[in-house]
Structure 1
Amino acid sequence: MDFQLNESQKELVALADRLGREEFAAKAARWDENHEYPHENVEVLRKAGLLGMTIPKAFGGPERPLIDVVLVIEQIAKYCGVTARIVVETNMGALGAIMAYGTPEQQKEVARRVLEDGDKPAIGMTEPNAGTDLVALTTTARETDDGYIINGVKHWITGGGISKTNLIFARIIDRDGQDHGIGGVLVDLGTPGFAIGHVESAMGLRGIPEAELIFTDCKVPLTNLVLRDAKEGFKKLMNGYNAQRVGASAVALGLAQGAHELAVDYMNTREATGQKLKDFQGLAWIAAEGDMRLDAARLLIYRAACNAVHLPNNVMLPEMREASIAKAFVGHESFECVSDSLQMFGAAGYSASLPLERMLRDVRMFQIGGGTTQAQLNMIARSIFPRR
């Protein structure tokens, strides 16, 4: 087992860190305050080759392993959680599912959109009454002679209204009315019958909209079907979400690492009662615990990424248990690390003049979005006590 990065990975980390410091850090507050999508950052990422890193070479991508993407996400999140989350969405999630299970035509077009246009594919899963319990979703895609008619409502969809490519989870109903279970259908932004509804005013990560998607007799061609498999379709689509969870965990880790580094720098210079903060044993122990949290989190994320299984087209997606362990642990420990780091600054940390209060709001999402901590614990428990 090798814990050392190769030269290519070191260069990737250095590139991501430089872009974070020089291009993204100073603007991070702007996206948060204005609830504004960072289009200019997307273009910087695209020119740097950090979008579509996982896209297979057959479709114009560099076909990098997931661990390389995780390294980039972690570095960028130290400076801007929103931009790091865009790196997740343009390398994992819906993109991974399409690259693994879509048709060659779908794969070619979606790859082009990501690599050339900077499109961030959205994954439409959650519904008002089907969040953690996704098998209860009611959105339908009914087959006709020349397409699928989609009806239903999705909400809390990351990138809704921004993403041209939308992979919508729906119950696939054939022409005879038979339910084939949950499958995936591609719906482009602007398709008649597809509307953007309410956009949430979220606590953090405000630069990416969390929107309601409304489908009213929305018709798409038959060729837009990604997967229809009554036995394995839903499971296969969720494999793509395992990568999303690993990517989300890397954002949380990067936010925590960035906050921790700010706190350590402050402790090295700030004095109180005649000594530096780093010389107070109680505070030094808090910093030491932060280091332990970060190292443990990093190892769990890297393990899940490195152990990703090879699927069609050499797409690599993590195993469910390892992805869930990483997300449950990292979400909690990263929040604690950011909170402790903010505490080091006292009242200044609570002020918007420093990035720590924003980082605390941002990192809190990762105990909820992409599957709550409790949902991850349920999945881990099922791996320990499998159902017959």
Structure 2
Amino acid sequence: MDFGLTDEQQMVQDMARNFAEKEIAPYVEEDEKNHYYRREILTKMGELGLLGWTLPEELGGNGMGWQEGCIALYEIAKVHTSWRLAISGNNWGPAMTINEYGTQEQKEKFIPGLLEGSLVGSFAITEPNTGSDVASMKTNAVDKGDHWLINGTKTWISGGHTCDVGLLYAVTDKGKGNKGISCFIIDYNNTPGVERIPIHDKVGMWAAPTSELIFENAVVPKENLLGELNKGFFICMWQLNNTRMGCATGAAALSRACLDGAVQYATERMQFGVPIGKHQMIQAQIAEMIIEDEAAKQLCMRAAWLKDNGLPSQQAVSTAKLAGCQAAVHGANLAMKIYGSYGYSDEYPCGRWLRDSKQFETLEGTSNMHQQIIANIELGFAPNR
């Protein structure tokens, strides 16, 4: 087993690291303070091919796979967690799902813009009373002959009020549970009947826009149905097994940011005449962070390798997501302890790390749900897709 990077992967890592340091790092604290989203960063990512992983070159893909995508996302999210959403929101969410289930016309209309960054993407699943239980959603789409009429509310949608195009999951056959849900492509700039409301009161992810979407007799063209009618639940689960790679990688990257920061501080901060890193309790905390961080990163790369090779990956993705979440939350807590009183100050990034880490416990499947997925597959109660 080779744990090294190929020349091409090393190139990807260097490019993503340089981009993050040049284009994202200078604005992190300003954007956090102002809760500001810089759309131009997404466009620049598209220009460099950082949104084109796993998709065909004829549609704007970059010809590289999951492993390369995770390597790039890791470098970006390590600098600012909010920007890990760009790859999931454009690439591994809408673009990849449209490529898998869409018509040729849908692919040509939407995918190139999503990959070049001229379009901002999103996907809408969660509702005020629908989280882990996707089949309980109430947003509905009614066939009106020449169009669909959509009514309902989605909430906690990443990029919901800033996006141009997104996937929407809605009920098309009431009373059939997960067998009555369909997926639609929404052109938000040309769809009447949609109100998009920013959600500002969040614990973290302040530079990543989050929204509530209200559909009131929204008119959607018939040709914007994605895949087969009433097959939306299956499409949704397929999509989540891809976008969760973004969660897993982003969590692992945040864990690494906490570790790097704690190590730097522990070598600079002096107490009792020596750097605090010389004290055994600090060393024990650093060691804990290293173990969890390395495990999270390797589990991400294993899941990416499985996906690149067309092998069942659902259990591996959930394992990587859960491990990354635990490493990020624990790493942020330990970093704040190591920084001491300064960790509680806005002078250092510990508060941001801790706020941002908590998202991973609920986003795209709670930790409880991922424990169930992992265990049910291992016990043979569910297939590993």
Shorter-normalised TM range: over 0.9
CA distance in structure 2 between the partners assigned to 1:294 and 1:250 by the alignment: 11
Distance, in Å, in 2 between the alignment partners of 1:94 and 1:108 is: 13
For the structure 1 residues 287 and 361, does the alpha-carbon distance in structure 2 shift closer, same or farther, using more than 3 Å as the test? same
Flag the 1:226–1:54 CA change in 2: closer, same or farther, 3 A: same
After superposition, the Cα gap between the structure-2 partners of 1:68 and 1:236, relative to the gap in structure 1 and judged at 3 Å, is same
Q: Percent identity?
A: 29
Closer, same or farther: CA 28–318 of 1 in aligned 2, 3 Å: farther
Distance in 2 (CA, whole Å) between partners of 1:31 and 1:273 is 37
Q: CA deviation at 1:229?
A: 4.9
* 1:122 paired residue number: 122
**Residues 295-304 or 87-96, more deviating:** 87-96
Q: Aligned AA for 1:98?
A: I
- Counting only pairs closer than 5 Å after superposition, residues 47-58 of structure 1 correspond to structure 2 as 47-58=47-58
Asked if structure 2 preserves the Cα contact closer than 8 Å seen for 1:182 and 1:228, the reply is no
**Amino acid of the structure 1 residue aligned with 2:304:** A
1:235 paired with 2:234, answer yes
Asked which structure has the greater RCO (Cα within 8 Å, sep 6+), the reply is 1
C-alpha separation in 2, matches of 1:143 and 1:131: 26
Task: Decide which of 360, 379, 383 is 2:377's aligned counterpart.
Answer: 383
How has the CA–CA distance of structure 1 residues 116 and 246 changed in structure 2, closer, same or farther, with 3 Å as cutoff? closer
Unaligned runs of 5+ in 2: none
Amino acid at match of 2:283: A
* Residue identity matched to 1:358: R
Q: After TM superposition, list the pairs within 5 Å mapping 1:125-140 onto structure 2.
A: 125-140=125-140
Residue type at the aligned position of 1:221: P
- In 1, Cα distance between the equivalents of 2:260 and 2:312? 29
1:294-309 matches, within 5 Å, as 294-308=293-307
Q: Which residue pairs with 1:74 in the alignment?
A: 74
Query: What is the Cα deviation at residue 318 of structure 1?
Result: 6.9
Aligned to 1:253: 252
Between structures 1 and 2, the one with greater helix share: 2
- Classify the secondary structure of the residue corresponding to 1:215: strand
**Offset from partner CA, 1:97-141 (integer Å, 9 cap, x none):** 112111111112222222344423211100111111001011111
Any residues of structure 2 matched to 1:304-323 within 5 Å, and which? 304-308=303-307, 319-323=313-317
Q: What is the one-letter code of the residue matched to 1:380?
A: I
Does structure 1 conserve the Cα–Cα contact (< 8 Å) formed by 2:89 and 2:159? no
Structure 1: state its 5+ residue gaps: 311-315
Q: Deviations over 1:204-243 (max 9, x none)?
A: 111122211111111111110002254x541233111111
Instruction: Report if the CA contact (8 A) 1:67-1:306 is conserved.
Output: yes
- AA aligned opposite 2:256: Q
Structure 2 residue matching 1:43: 3-state secondary structure: helix
The aligned runs of 1:271-350 (5 Å cut-off) are 271-308=270-307, 319-350=313-344
> C-alpha displacement at 1:185, in angstroms?
0.4
The equivalent residue for 1:364 is 358
CA displacement 1:173-229 (0-9 Å, x = unmatched) = 49xx99961120011113101111352421111112221111111111111000225
Distance 1:204 1:159 in 2: 15
Aligned to 1:313: none
Deviation at 1:72, TM superposition (A): 0.9
Identify the range of structure 1 (57-66 vs 184-193) with the bigger mean alpha-carbon deviation.
57-66
Letter in 2 for 1:275: V
Residue 158 of structure 1: aligned partner = 158
- CA deviations over 1:137-177 (Å, ceiling 9, x no partner): 11111222212111111111110111111100012249xx9
Please give the alpha-carbon distance, in whole angstroms, between the structure 1 residues aligned to 2:287 and 2:105: 51
> Partner of 1:64: helix, strand, or coil?
coil
The question of 1:18 aligning with 2:18 is answered yes
In 1, Cα distance between equivalents of 2:54 and 2:373: 26
Map of 1:353 onto structure 2: 347
The secondary structure found in structure 1 opposite 2:172 is: strand
Q: Which amino acid aligns with 1:102?
A: G
Q: What code does the residue aligned with 1:328 have? A: L
Deviations 1:310-345 (A, max 9, x none): 7xxxxx797322111111121012110122122211
Structure 2 Cα separation of the partners of residues 318 and 155 of structure 1: 31
Cα distance in 2 for partners of 1:350, 1:318 equals 43
Change in CA separation of 1:215 and 1:147 when aligned onto 2, cut-off 3 Å: same
Q: How many pairs are equivalent? A: 380
1:178 and 1:294 mapped to 2: Cα distance? 39
TM-score by length of 1: 0.92
Mapped partners of 1:366, 1:57: distance in 2: 32
- Residue 93 of structure 2 corresponds to residue 99 of structure 1: no
Rounded to whole Å, the distance in 2 between the matches of 1:219 and 1:334 is: 42
1:217 match: secondary structure:
strand
The answer on whether the counterparts of 1:349 and 1:356 sit within 8 Å (CA) in structure 2 is yes
**Aligned partners of 1:126 and 1:233: how far apart in 2?**
14
Counterpart code for 1:292: I
Please tell me whether the aligned partners of residues 94 and 241 of structure 1 are also in contact (alpha carbons under 8 angstroms). no
Where 1:87 maps in the other structure, the secondary structure is helix
RMSD: 2.2
State the 1:386 CA deviation: 4.5
* 1:46 is the counterpart of 2:46: yes
Instruction: Show CA shifts across 1:33-54 (max 9, x none).
Output: 2121122322331232212233
Aligned to 1:264: 263
